[in-house]
Structure 1
Amino acid sequence: MFSQTAEYALRATAALAERQSAVTAAELARLTDVPSPYLFKVMGQLTKAGIVTAQRGKYGGYVLHAPASAITLLDVINAVDPIPRIHHCPLGKPEHELALCPLHRQLDAAYAQIEQTLRAQTLADVTPPTPTGQDRKAVRTAPPRRS
């Protein structure tokens, strides 16, 4: 039902939700078992959508842009491959102009239920709790330098 791109985006963001610091593209590819070239494409889409932030430099990599508890699974999927909704009956029959036919009404209701389920679940809900039990916060700065 979900595209490979959506699956990879969910894997990548779940892996980031488990981390307290930036994760390099190479490490993220290893953690998620996603081919690097495909991962770059997915991460670009997630960055453009504001789900993740790419940090450059020695301590660079990818981080979630917001706490894991603020990012729903639907947010992630919609960033890369939105769930289709049926707004017009594809049969084009005149009697279906004002309302979907029974078949397409049921299909759209199923899509709506999937959206509702994914909207109710956050990345924090599908990743193990941190050792301290705190919310997984977005990391936007490099770690302190050690002398």
Structure 2
Amino acid sequence: MFSQTAEYALRATAALAERDSAVTAAELARLTDVPPPYLFKVMAQLAKAGLVTAQRGKYGGYLLQAPPGAVTLLEVINAVDPIPRIYHCPLGKPEHELALCPLHRQLDAAYAQIEQTLRSQTLADVT
């Protein structure tokens, strides 16, 4: 259901949530079992979304931008691989132009439930 990128982002942010100081990329890769090149890509996306910061220097590394209790799992996932929603029936039938067909209405409702569950859980809840 969730992409490898979303899984890696959750692992990385959960690992950061358990620490009070910056974590180097090498240490974060070791802690999360994420290949370093892939980790750099994921961390860049999380930084772009404002969820993590990167500090340079002797005591540098990655830090969460906000306390773990303020970062939802949905924010982490949406930063790297947003949960899809269905706004238009992909079948393109004229009778479905104004509203989703029953099939796609149910699928979108399932996505909405997943979003709600992830929105209600923070990194503090999973560390």
Is 1:106 equivalent to 2:103 in the alignment? no
Runs of 5+ consecutive residues of structure 2 not aligned to the other structure: none
Taking structure 1 as the reference length, the TM-score comes to 0.86
Runs of 4+ in 1 over 2 A off after TM superposition: none
Taking structure 2 as the reference length, the TM-score comes to 1.00
Aligned length in residues: 127
Could you tell me which residue of structure 2 aligns to residue 125 of structure 1?
125
User: What's the CA shift for 1:124?
Assistant: 0.3
Could you tell me which residue of structure 2 aligns to residue 73 of structure 1?
73
Aligned-partner SS, 1:63: strand
RMSD value over aligned CA atoms?
0.2
Could you tell me which residue of structure 1 aligns to residue 11 of structure 2?
11
Determine which structure has more spread, i.e. the larger CA radius of gyration: 1
Distance (Å, rounded) in 2 between the aligned partners of 1:64 and 1:55: 11
Distance (Å, rounded) in 2 between the aligned partners of 1:2 and 1:14: 16
Distance (Å, rounded) in 1 between the aligned partners of 2:17 and 2:11: 10
Distance (Å, rounded) in 2 between the aligned partners of 1:51 and 1:74: 12
Distance (Å, rounded) in 2 between the aligned partners of 1:90 and 1:28: 40
| Structure whose residues are more often helix by fraction | 2
Runs of 5+ consecutive residues of structure 1 not aligned to the other structure: 128-147
Distance (Å, rounded) in 2 between the aligned partners of 1:67 and 1:5: 22
Q: Superposed, which structure 2 residues align to 1:1-147 within 5 Å?
A: 1-127=1-127
- Identity among equivalent positions (%) equals 90
